[in-house]
Amino acid sequence: MDILNKSKLKAVLVGVQLPRVSDEETRGSLAELSRLVTTLGYEVVGQTSQKRNSTKSGTVLGDGKLKELASWTGGTGVIGPLVVKKKHKAALRFKNQDEDEADEFAAEEDDFAEVPEESEDLSLDADSDVPQEKAQVVIFDCDLSPSQLRNLESATGAQVLDRTGVIIEIFSRHARTKAARLQVEIARLTYVAPRLRETSGGEDRGGGGIGGKGAGETSVELDRRKIRDRIKELKHELAAISQEHITRRSRRNQEISVALVGYTNAGKSSLMRALTGSEVLVADKLFATLDTTVRVLYPESRPKILISDTVGFIKKLPHDLVASFKSTLDEAANASLLLYVVDSSDPTFRSQLQVTRAVLDEVGASDIDSLLVLNKVDRLSAEEREKLQQEYPEALFLSAHNKEDVANLRLRLIKHFETAMIDQELLIPYDVQGAIGEIRAKMRVLSENYDNRGVTLTIRAHIQDIEKIRTKFGI
């Protein structure tokens, strides 16, 4: 991962605190955005937030705040001709966007007039975490209209993204199955369509006549129409495969897998790293080819246990994205075991757990075994911990940062799968080739004895797997 570090783009985050939203919520939401943005591979170098009556003004922020932000990115702080440096634009581009066009258009007159400027800043100096380095990307923790996006790019000279854009990009990286990819693509196109003016120049208003455009249809309108058609097509495809999907589910992967589910910040990725060891991925060719969110439990068990990380529930998930979020949970819906991970030090974890369970039921995971993991117990007092233990007697209490806890969880996982297994003695004559190697690779060998008839192995495995080996080698 160090190779990537050098080329990481630096990002600053901007929160907007509306009336009746507490400081705590604003901070929590920004912290979540920071994790999402880091997931996308940016380095978050600073952040700021401002109290506003609404997010509707042309630049969202007040003039003073905008200047402050622009000083972090090397921009002018005022809306002028848009100049986003090309090398800075590489980070997050939607597939259909034309990379070159963003440089060409200048802000249009109507940008300024479109939404009247709001009242002046309520407090100019909300908490800022001033970056030590120049940032190339600005990410807003709210939704931005196409013209706000353009105004902000103009004033900051940086690439500007909003929360929804970030989330859609994460989902598209996590969508693995055909259905999930279609679902996310629909969400992406729905998001992109109104923002098209942004990258297509939008200069030939009312033109028409060229390239099959309808009378008076601009190129943007044409593009939008194409997108609408594409969305329709995708929806048809999606409907056609949902049937297929059900049959695929019944052919559930033979491999044993554990899926970590829960809200972002619960500690899923930390647990994943601790359970699998980050170097393993690079070392093990087989798993390096799998998606990075699936790794093998380490030290390895027999049979191997795969661990998968999920996107994680997001607090303010825009409604349009709910369907595509659910589709990214496909990994979890196919797991052999679900680990519900919660941050036990977060006072809202109970309601989060409820939502998580309900959604997993909806995606067809209700018949999967599960364990509840109350993470971050290092943050609890002895009394708090005791109370929780009474409330959740079945739960595993641990800290992802504690090696011993993680080792215990590993044993617990192995034990979980072993309860469905049986111990069996197998006599393998010396003239049977290959059986011992295959058994060792796939199963846990409890003991071995050599005598003149052959090797007697005591193995612990699923009965079907033992039968398979017996049939294959005639033993």
- Residue 208 corresponds to which tokens in the numbers above? 């028409």
Rounded CA Rg of the chain: 27
Binding of ligand GDP at residue 399 (CB under 6 A)?
yes
Rule CB under 6 A: is residue 223 a binding residue for ligand GDP?
Answer: no
In degrees, to the nearest 5, what angle opens at C-alpha 153 toward C-alphas 30 and 313?
A: 30
Distance CA 62, CA 60 (A): 7
Residue (51 or 268) nearer to ligand GDP, CB: 268
Q: Applying CB under 6 A, which part among 258-266, 360-368, 407-415, 432-440 lies near ligand GDP?
A: 258-266
Distance, CA of 280 to CA of 288 (rounded, Å): 9
Q: How many CB atoms lie within 10 A of CB 48?
A: 21
Burial of 182 (0-12, 13-18, 19+ CB in 10 A): buried
By the rule CB under 6 A, 401 interacts with ligand GDP:
yes
- Supply 472's token pair: 């294959």
Within 26-55, the residues that bind ligand GDP by CB under 6 A are: 35
- The piece of 9-17, 75-83, 235-243, 261-269 that touches Mg ion (CB under 5 A) is 261-269
Residue 266 contact partner, candidates ligand GDP, Mg ion, none, CB within 5 to 8 A by sort of partner: ligand GDP
Nearest distance in Å: CB 412, ligand GDP: 16
Residue from 17, 270, 293, 328 binding ligand GDP (CB under 6 A) = 270
Q: Which two tokens stand for residue 308?
A: 């998968």
Residue number, 108 or 378, with CB nearest to ligand GDP: 378
**Binds 416: which of Mg ion, ligand GDP, none (CB < 5-8 Å by kind):** none
- In three-state form (DSSP H/G/I as H, E/B as E, the rest C), the secondary structure along 29-98 is HHHHHHHHHHHCCCEEEEEEEEECCCCCCCCCCCHHHHHHHHHHHCCCCCCCCCCCCHHHHCCCCCCCCC
Does position 270 interact with Mg ion (CB under 5 A)? The reply is no
Residue nearest to Mg ion (CB): 269
Angle between helices 268-276 and 403-418 (to 10 degrees): 80
Closer to Mg ion at the Cβ: 39 or 71?
39
Does 307 help bind ligand GDP (rule: CB under 6 A)? no
- Per CB under 6 A, does 462 bind ligand GDP? no
Q: Min. distance of Cβ 292 from Mg ion in angstroms?
A: 12
Q: x/- binding map, residues 113-142, to ligand GDP, per CB under 6 A? A: ------------------------------
Q: How far apart are CA 110 and CA 91, in angstroms?
A: 28
Check residue 267 for interaction with ligand GDP (CB under 6 A): yes
Quote the crossing angle between the two packed helices 178-192 and 219-250, to the nearest 10°: 160
Interface with Mg ion by CB under 5 A: which range of 95-103, 157-165, 265-273, 451-459?
A: 265-273
Measured from the CB atom, the residue of 38 and 389 that comes closer to Mg ion is 38
State yes or no: residue 316 binds ligand GDP (CB under 6 A).
Answer: no
Q: How far is CA 290 from CA 202, 254, 318, 334, 339, in A?
A: 42, 16, 30, 15, 21
Residue 126 to residue 65: CA distance in whole angstroms: 9
Q: Which of 34, 47, 269, 310 binds Mg ion (CB under 5 A)?
A: 269
Residues 6+ apart with CB under 8 A from 46: 12, 13, 72, 128, 129, 130, 131, 132, 135
Count, residues in the chain = 475
Q: Positive or negative, the Cα torsion across 234, 237, 241, 243?
A: positive
The reply on whether position 278 binds ligand GDP by CB under 6 A is no
List the beta strands (DSSP E) in 318-443. Answer: 337-343, 369-375, 396-397, 422-429
Of residues 82 and 281, the one with the C-beta less far from ligand GDP: 281
According to CB under 6 A, which one of 10, 224, 376, 410 is a site residue for ligand GDP?
Answer: 376
**Contact status: 266 vs ligand GDP (CB under 6 A):** yes
According to the binding rule CB under 6 A, does residue 378 interact with ligand GDP?
yes
Question: Are the C-beta atoms of 118 and 57 separated by less than 8 Å?
Answer: yes
Binding residue for ligand GDP, selected from 188, 197, 268, 410, defined by CB under 6 A: 268
* Contact (Cβ atoms closer than 8 angstroms) between residue 365 and residue 329: yes
Nearest distance, CB of residue 271 and ligand GDP, angstroms: 7
* Of 32 and 198, CB closest to Mg ion: 32
Of 269, 276, 308, 352, which lies in the binding site for ligand GDP, with binding defined by CB under 6 A? 269
Interface stretch with ligand GDP, choices 196-204, 399-407, 448-456, 467-475 (CB under 6 A): 399-407
* Residues near ligand GDP, by CB under 6 A: 35, 264-270, 312, 375-376, 378-379, 399-401
